[in-house]
A and B are shown apart, each in its own frame.
Chain A
């Protein structure tokens, strides 16, 4: 039978509210500003041996400033953490990365959280890394459509708004699906100059076909579900452009547990 109400012997609530901060570290960050703290909520409970269980969420909405220019995003902890070893990357919980119900498509991704790295470049953590957690990503996501012009064998896609200009996906990260029947057999489709060559530092890539069409050129949809890599600093960690370009309506939720500093 399902229990209803208060657990026998339960003491008064030990849960405490905490307003989390989302802070950009590294690079040249413009910081995130959440106008309404009702959209930045957190709550924690501490057991008597210093294990802090902390959950919360941040939701972006119109009027907020979503940060930019940073290497990574950190989210503040209610108490500074004790690092259990020399390694910073022990996962302490999971994060729910969500684009919100109004988005189409409505992407959902799981993140893995750990205490923040001691970021020391640009707007570094200044020794405050014990006060924040960071989020590891399993992939970086972008998508869109493209259309060749009449007689062209190259169509350049600008993915910079979603992937930035420093992250370079590998070719196998890019998935191209033709969406029409062209008037001439394109024969062969390849992806070239991925943020390199003529597209270096622009966040663009070329889709190249063997034979062009004039009456009905090739149209296509593209998708990147890219594995992070070393082309961008801290590419495996969440920031304002990873795992996607964060926007209004998107939210970050988390539940972590960690040892507080003594």
Chain B
């Protein structure tokens, strides 16, 4: 039978909240000018849902620290709120012991899988598992990397189910303007939803070009013959391009955090992790 109420012998509540601080970080060589996001909390702003944003911790014993973080970007907020120009680095309540040595990357997960980013009540309604690690020693952290964690993402994603994706001649080019790299052809999936006006000999369809920065990231779909008003949906589960922060949770990875983007009203980043505090 399930127990109800207070656990026998339980000590006083050890959970403590702490200020949720999130930075956008990169390296000088990346040439970015990171803009930190603004995380409104229940006492710090008027936006709805601000009570969702919080951070708390529990020290179990021997300086083993359990941390829970929730942050959400809401559609009422302005463009500066989700930040730009780097990966998200999220503050820990206490500096962490870095087992790979001071100043070294530490690609060791801090969680048993309890971290996720998801878009609620949208179409699609996507959940992506995150892999939190101690922050890399980014220039923008100025030697304070032990005080932050970052999150790896297994892929980035974009999609479109707008009827505007119409193959009206033999080619169509679709822009992905917020990407940091070019999509790879094998990562692009497309499905046609009609065959109106499609001429004979046009059955072969392929991705003929992908481009990336500094030009606008895009891909081109091309068929073998004339095609009039053949509509398609596409989605991309993209492999990360090279770069120290391209695989990390950021204002554009795994999706644009901009709440008014195609992904719907608001993205959530919810994390539970545990780590050893520095002694």
Contact = CB atoms under 8 A, between A and B. Distances in A.
A78 to B, nearest CB: 7
A85 B2 contact: no
A262 B198 contact: no
A190 B122 CA distance: 25
A174 B213 CA distance: 30
B56 A136 contact: no
Contacts of B6: 261-262
Contacts of A47: 60-61
A138 B129 contact: yes
A114 B118 CA distance: 13
Contacts of A190: 191-195, 230
A90 B70 contact: yes
Nearest to B52: A87
A186 interface: yes
Contacts of B116: 91, 112, 136
Size range of the chain A interface in the assembly: 35 or more
B10 A50 contact: yes
Contacts of B272: 90-93, 257
Which among A50, A172, A210, A255 has the greatest number of chain B C-beta atoms within 10 A?
A: A172
Interface in B49-72: 51-52, 54, 56, 58, 60-61, 66, 68, 70, 72
Size range of the chain B interface in the assembly: 35 or more
Interface stretch (A28-36, A60-68, A98-106, A223-231): A223-231
Contacts of B194: 190, 192, 208
A190 B231 CA distance: 9
Contacts of A208: 194-195
Contacts of B13: 49-50, 262
A239 interface: no
A51 interface: yes
Given A80-B4, A191-B193, A228 B126 contact: yes
B215 interface: no
B11 A49 contact: yes
B7 interface: yes
B203 A94 contact: no
Nearest to B4: A80
A173 B113 CA distance: 25
A142 interface: no
Contact of A227 (B60, B124, B191): B124
Interface string A156-179: 000000000000001111111000
A188 B203 contact: yes
A48 B66 CA distance: 14
Contacts of B9: 48
B3 to A, nearest CB: 5
24 contacts: A46-B10, A48-B10, A48-B11, A51-B66, A78-B3, A79-B2, A87-B52, A87-B72, A87-B270, A91-B114, A92-B272, A94-B113, A94-B114, A94-B129, A112-B115, A112-B129, A136-B116, A172-B159, A174-B191, A188-B195, A190-B194, A210-B195, A227-B124, A259-B58
